[in-house]
Amino acid sequence: MTQRVLTTESGAPVADNQNSATAGVGGPILLQDQHLLEKLARFNRERIPERVVHARGSGAYGYFEVTDDVTGFTRADFLSAVGKRTETFIRFSTVADSLGGADAVRDPRGFALKFYTDEGNYDLVGNNTPVFFIKDPIKFPDFIHSQKRDPFTGRQEPDNVWDFWAHAPEATHQVTWLMGDRGIPASYRHMNGYGSHTYQWTNAEGEAFFVKYHFKTNQGVRSLSSEQAAELAGRDGNSHQTDLLQAIERGVHPSWTLYVQVMPAGEAAEYRFNPFDLTKVWPHSDYPLQRVGRLVLDRNPDNVFAEVEQAAFSPNNFVPGIGPSPDKMLQGRLFAYADAHRYRLGVNHTQLPVNAPRTAVVDNYGRDGLHATRNGARHDKNYEPNSYAGPAQTGAALSAPLAIHGWTGTHEAPAHTKDDDFFQAGELYRLMSEDEKDRLVANIAGGLSQVIRDDVIEKNLAHFHAADADYGKRVEEAVRALRED
């Protein structure tokens, strides 16, 4: 085998990669040692800013295969025929901790999926829970600040966590999910994924439907108790990453079945819950699950940094037949996700291999910027319209228009007949077995009992009482017992 030659970044051969150039034997290092300076300067810049949320993640490639006809609801090409396959990339993640955190912690999990379709990339950004803590994006920075490290103590503080939740009663439903058995998945393979938000599908006739995505794991849902998770996190902080990597390497390809709930757009205004409220679910008795296809993961990335850390998912990456809904959290994320990637990776992050379309042709007037690799040919213009046969608009909207009315201003979301912040949390609690309720109460009390201020504790207890009388009573008694010890 011919020995490959080590070179500098400019392609020049490196004579010595073991010893720096010095002024004589044992003398000081010379500034002219270009190879040394280049290595050190590059090393200093190897890391990019980590994600503010979802910093710690794992990824894999796979495919999505359509198993059921959904053309009555959407004209999206990648869903147009039973048996059609589309390459995908998925990134799983924890939400609150930093890049150096452990996998086995009590935290929601990100479930971000990129479809490399023939009509462009479609990104579906979700979690392993069907709901979230808040319903308006203006509260998101404050929520995340309350969950991250305190500026003074440098650690996550129960006082901050529960103080925010005390002032956000709409979080009660998601808190019940998080503190329940599914709050710590046993692995990324053994959890469900949800689009969480409400999206719009539009069919070939222009009819609009609102949909929610449900990816049901075919491995079965498995979770860890707080005690099991603490032991695992101490033994192997990379437990979920290791599990996913090794499963795919040995040919055990994890899969999920995709179902959707479909609501005709005309039914949204009169539905008993606000269908665009991210803190609520649509009961399956109202809108049953309809099978769409299956997601299979069959290939690990070759380089975690290039393909997992630099993977960029933006919910504003739609394809014809799929679009947004009036979900306020989704509307905020349509801007925030892409903007986060422009900050972390640069304005040309979409040209990175993991983010670039596979089969669709990118043809627009974007030019220049950091790391630009696609600047056009000599006679290509960078403005539109032009007289030089440059790309032109189609005039065909990706999705149906949304009707709007009323005055501009800062409005609360419209109330529906059954809207409140606690009913669905109570419904979730009442679905649990006695053992599940015991663990839920213990998990909540373990954190809430550490809060210093009595008024913060009382506000949170009021939320659980409002959700279900037994729920509130048991949490209150458990908190009192822990605080008396």
CB-CB contact of 216 with 192 (8 Å) = yes
| Helix, strand, coil content of the chain in percent (nearest 5) | 30, 15, 50
Amino acid identity for residue 67 in this structure? T
Cα distance between residue 193 and residue 88, in whole Å? 15
Extract the tokens encoding 201.
């599908």
pLDDT for 67 equals 98
CB-CB contact of 289 with 260 (8 Å) = yes
pLDDT for 485 equals 78
Instruction: Return the closest-CA partner of residue 197 out of 119, 138, 134.
Output: 134
Tens-digit pLDDT string for the chain (485 aa): 899 999 988 888 999 999 999 999 999 999 999 999 988 888 898 889 999 999 999 999 999 999 999 999 999 999 999 999 999 999 999 999 899 899 999 999 999 999 999 999 999 999 999 999 999 999 999 999 999 999 999 999 999 999 999 999 999 999 999 999 999 999 999 999 999 999 999 999 999 999 999 999 999 999 999 999 999 999 999 999 999 999 999 999 999 999 999 999 999 999 999 999 999 999 999 999 999 999 999 999 999 999 999 999 999 999 999 999 999 999 999 999 999 999 999 999 999 999 999 989 888 888 888 888 888 888 888 888 989 988 888 888 889 988 888 888 888 888 898 889 999 999 999 999 999 999 999 999 999 999 999 999 999 999 999 999 999 999 999 999 999 87
pLDDT for 237 equals 96
pLDDT for 369 equals 85
The residue behind tokens 């007289």 is 387
Q: Which CB contacts under 8 angstroms, 24+ apart, belong to 210-213?
A: 210/262, 210/263, 210/264, 210/265, 210/268, 210/275, 210/325, 211/73, 211/260, 211/261, 211/262, 211/263, 212/130, 212/260, 212/261, 212/281, 212/282, 212/287, 213/124, 213/126, 213/258, 213/259, 213/260
CB-CB contact of 447 with 482 (8 Å) = no
Extract the tokens encoding 252.
């055990």
Instruction: Return the closest-CA partner of residue 289 out of 416, 398, 130, 175.
Output: 130
The residue behind tokens 């809207």 is 419
Instruction: Output the CA torsion 271→314→184→154 (10° steps).
Output: -120
Residues involved in catalysis: 54, 127
pLDDT for 372 equals 83
Amino acid identity for residue 155 in this structure? R
